[in-house]
Amino acid sequence: MSTTQPIRSKQLLHDFKEYYLTKQPNSRNYTLILIGLNTALRINDILHLTWGDVYCTEHSRFYTHLLITEKKTEKETRILINRELQETLLSYRKTQTSIADTDYLFPSPRKADSPLSRYQAYRIVRKAAEAVGIEDVIRCHSLRKTFGYHAWKMGTPPALLMEIYNHSSFQITKHYLGIEQDDKDAVFRDIQL
């Protein structure tokens, strides 16, 4: 089995993000992908998000931070809901007919009171990746890895990424970043001592 990869190319990442916005418009699928790319959460945690996790009904506004206990690590994590994600959630919210705080952001169309399945989430991600010509192995976990890869490329220290991911070792984080020979070559090319 091949290793899940991040989406490294900025152009392919842009095309991938835009697929469910412009090519095959679907606000649920677009929002799912944006949450994955902007929060670095595992797909299981994303699928179990409710409207009450992101939206304060009492004040009719989105929270500034997402506060959840990760299912895999059982660690509490606090994630800023950035402007792009707030705008996407607002647009998605407008497509919903009735919303309760306990409703899943991504409800199953087949099972009442259940979130979208992991397999359906995989199909959503895979369809967009194939449609825009991404040849790497792209799965739901690629969203999490893509966040880390691009954060690292922007200069985020790996130790901070380790903290964001709630990883127990730097080796795991290093594997997530998907560092390739091209990345190593760039360091040697740019260092002109």
Beta bridge partners of 55: 62
Please confirm, yes or no, whether 165 is among the known catalytic residues. Answer: no
* 117, two tokens: 């399945």
User: Which one is catalytic: 8, 17, 139, 144?
Assistant: 144
42 is catalytic: yes
Per the CB < 8 A criterion, the answer to whether 89 and 54 are in contact is yes
Q: For residue 89, what are the CA distances in angstroms to 25, 147, 164? A: 15, 18, 22
Kindly state the tokens that stand for 133. Answer: 């010509």
Q: Is 61 a catalytic residue?
A: no
Q: Contact 7/180 with Cβ under 8 angstroms?
A: no
Which of 8, 17, 141, 145 is catalytic? The answer is 141
**Residue 167 is a catalytic residue:** yes
Q: Does residue 141 have an active-site annotation?
A: yes
Q: Output the CA–CA distances (angstroms, integers) from residue 51 to 4, 48, 140, in the order listed.
A: 29, 10, 21
Q: Which of 55, 92, 165, 176 is catalytic?
A: 176
Retrieve residue 119's tokens. Answer: 């397999």
- C-beta of residue 136 within 8 angstroms of C-beta of residue 152: no
72, 83, 110, 189: the active-site residue: 72
> Is 72 a residue of the active site?
yes
Catalytic residues, by residue number, are 42, 72, 141, 144, 167, 176
